[in-house]
């Protein structure tokens, strides 16, 4: 089951939740977009098409296609060149675990 679930990019507002439902049985209740639920407003469906980082010498360092936790879900699309110092402020890593992929969920930032 884990092998089937892992590659699926799941989120409360993504198509991946339907793919997950084929693997794990759960019921989905559709709620209209922009409805208020407790302290959250239901967002439009967002599906990740891809994401990656390239070093100055052109080497692809990370790629969403290889691991979907490289990308924080619920963020807006972004395309730009960024200096490493600026990127560090928005990156999640631990120097003692240099190959580990930090998992972060963010709904409002």
For the stretch 57-109, pLDDT in tens is: 999 988 888 887 777 666 677 788 888 888 878 777 778 888 887 776 665 55
For the stretch 23-53, pLDDT in tens is: 777 777 778 888 988 887 877 777 777 888 8
Say what the pLDDT of residue 45 is. Answer: 75
Say what the pLDDT of residue 59 is. Answer: 92
Using the predicted structure, report yes or no on whether residue 54 has a pLDDT greater than 60: yes
Task: Report pTM.
Answer: 0.57
- The residue with greater pLDDT, 12 or 90, is 90
Say what the pLDDT of residue 87 is. Answer: 80
Give the total residue count for the chain. Answer: 109
For 79, phi then psi, to 5°, come to -140, 110
| Helix, strand, coil share (%) of the chain residues, nearest 5 | 20, 10, 70
């Amino acid at each position: 089951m884990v092998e089937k679930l892992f590659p699926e990019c799941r989120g409360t507002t993504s198509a991946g939740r339907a793919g997950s439902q084929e693997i794990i049985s759960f019921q989905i209740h559709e709620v209209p977009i922009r409805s208020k639920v407790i302290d959250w407003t239901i967002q439009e469906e967002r599906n990740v098409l891809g994401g990656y980082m390239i070093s100055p010498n052109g080497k692809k360092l990370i790629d969403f296609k290889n691991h979907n936790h490289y990308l924080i879900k619920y963020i807006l699309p972004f395309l730009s060149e960024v200096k490493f110092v600026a990127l560090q402020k928005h990156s999640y890593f631990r120097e003692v675990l240099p190959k580990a992929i930090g998992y972060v969920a963010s709904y409002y930032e």
